[in-house]
Amino acid sequence: MTLQIQARLRYGDNFELSVDQVLPLCGVTALFGRSGCGKTTLLRIIAGLERVGDARVQFGEHPWQQGRLFVPLHRRRIGLVFQEPSLLAHLSVRDNLVYGYRRTPAAQRRLHLPEVAAMLGIEALLDRRIDQLSGGERQRISLGRALLISPQLLLLDEPMAALDTQTKRDIMPFLSRMAAESGVPMIMVSHAPDEVARLADRVAFMQAGQIPRVESLHEALARPQSPLFDDAGAASILEGIPGEPEADGVRPFGPPLARLWIPDTQTVGAGQPIRLRVLARDVSLSLDDPHRISIQNHLPVTIERIDPPHQHRIVVACRTNDGQLLLAEVTSRAVSQLGLRPGLSLYALIKSVALLD
């Protein structure tokens, strides 16, 4: 199923939105770009909050806007979550959560309070008042309320922008779990690369009111000079399932032929899929598998691509034995001395990995 959007909108002489795009309706699609590029305006058009003449919005086989046809928000069955949670202060957490659920026809209810509360870790909050909640707890209640209308589509407008850094870290695992377990397609507005890397399956890059490119997260990260790279430079996202913790405080990650060892953390259970972020500058390449070395993570890889030099540094794109892309940043001299070339099999030495939480 897909979401088709065609819209043109001009604000004064400085901004014009011009979008003609088809987005897949599965997993999480991130609308990524700088502030003011039109992300929220596009989200409001999809939701039906912004009515634009001559626009066309079609959800699967169902037109939401076309010509004189305009389906209002409540009939589109869209869940909305904004930066600031708009909860009803006079109701308890439980009553806030089921406010829309009670107004959803029984035949359309696919998600129910017990499973959503467990998904978002809010079981202990159900009988509290709204003024007794922290910012992160309020945003989790907003997410739960949006899910409990059993929406066809969930739209998230920078849901963590108003939270401090620690609260973002606290809420991210719940948001990730919701994305994985709810089965509801999501479109998420963000200008934060770490949020996109943690949550998105694909990225729609927005720039000056247009979407020049839509690609999978891995394709987006494989591009040299990707907009998703921050000051830390090129990075890879590795997906896998951790095993049980070992006695020395580490745990296995991924299949035996592409095994990594990662620090044990209480926030991740064995068997729960996770993402790791590996900075290209933290990956070295070796023609041999070194044994007398403190770096514990050595992966056999095959070079897939060698990018042009940038400030005497070169990004080498390698493929692991389980098919994932791993980027290494080396010097031009290293490429020459080691004879690096596409198709060459060698070892990637990973100095550190970061759990995306």
Give the domain ranges of the chain. Answer: 2-222, 235-355
- Over 60: is that where the pLDDT of 96 sits? yes
Judge whether 260 and 276 are in contact, CB under 8 Å: yes
DSSP 86: -
- Over 80: is that where the pLDDT of 200 sits? yes
CA dihedral 120, 121, 125, 127 (to 10 degrees): 80
Angle, vertex CA 299, rays to CA 293 and CA 301, nearest 5: 130
Q: Kindly indicate the confidence band of residue 226, based on its pLDDT and cuts at 50, 70 and 90.
A: confident
Judge whether 315 and 234 are in contact, CB under 8 Å: yes
- The mean per-residue pLDDT over the stretch 73-95 comes to 91
Q: Which position has the higher pLDDT, 230 or 208?
A: 208
Judge whether 17 and 23 are in contact, CB under 8 Å: no
pLDDT for the residue 85: 82
How many Å apart are CA 97 and CA 91, to the nearest integer? Answer: 10
What are the backbone dihedrals phi and psi of residue 195, each rounded to the nearest 5 degrees, phi first? Answer: -65, -40
- Over 90: is that where the pLDDT of 198 sits? no
- Over 70: is that where the pLDDT of 276 sits? yes
- Over 60: is that where the pLDDT of 130 sits? yes
pLDDT per residue as tens digits for the range 325-352: 999 999 999 999 999 999 999 999 999 8
Within a 13 Å sphere around the CA of 188, how many CA atoms are in the beta-carbon half?
Answer: 30
pLDDT per residue as tens digits for the range 56-69: 999 999 999 999 99
Q: Kindly indicate the confidence band of residue 259, based on its pLDDT and cuts at 50, 70 and 90.
A: very high
pLDDT per residue as tens digits for the range 13-71: 788 999 999 999 999 999 999 888 999 999 999 999 999 988 999 999 999 999 999 99
Token pair listed for 229: 């790279």
How many Å apart are CA 89 and CA 273, to the nearest integer? Answer: 36
**β-bridge pairing 354-355 and 274-279:** antiparallel
| CATH architecture assigned to 235-355 | Beta Barrel (2.40)
Q: Which position has the higher pLDDT, 193 or 349?
A: 349
C-alpha torsion sign, points 116, 195, 323, 286:
negative
| H-type alpha helices, the chain | 39-47, 73-76, 93-97, 113-120, 135-147, 165-181, 193-199, 217-222, 332-338
pLDDT for the residue 178: 85
pLDDT for the residue 35: 87
DSSP 218: H
How many residues are present in the chain? 357
Q: Kindly indicate the confidence band of residue 269, based on its pLDDT and cuts at 50, 70 and 90.
A: low
Q: Which residues of 219-236 are buried (b: 16+ CB within 10 A; e: fewer)?
A: ebbbeeebbbbeeebbbb
Token pair listed for 257: 């032929």
Q: How is 280-304 classified by DSSP, letter by letter? A: GGGEEEESS---SSS--EEEEEEEE
pLDDT for the residue 76: 94
Check if 2-222 and 235-355 are the same fold.
Answer: no
Residue 15 C-alpha from the chain's centroid: 27
- Over 60: is that where the pLDDT of 357 sits? no
pLDDT for the residue 113: 95
pLDDT for the residue 238: 93
Q: What is the mean pLDDT of the chain?
A: 90
How many Å apart are CA 193 and CA 33, to the nearest integer? Answer: 9
> Global pTM?
0.85
pLDDT per residue as tens digits for the range 144-165: 999 999 999 999 999 888 888 8
Task: Give the residue among 230, 205, 215, 217 at the shortest CA–CA distance from 280.
Answer: 230
Q: How is 232-263 classified by DSSP, letter by letter? A: T--EEEEEE-B-PPPTTSEEEES-GGG-EEEE
Task: Give the residue among 331, 241, 239 at the shortest CA–CA distance from 280.
Answer: 331
Superfamily of domain 2-222, CATH level 4:
P-loop containing nucleotide triphosphate hydrolases (3.40.50.300)
pLDDT for the residue 268: 64
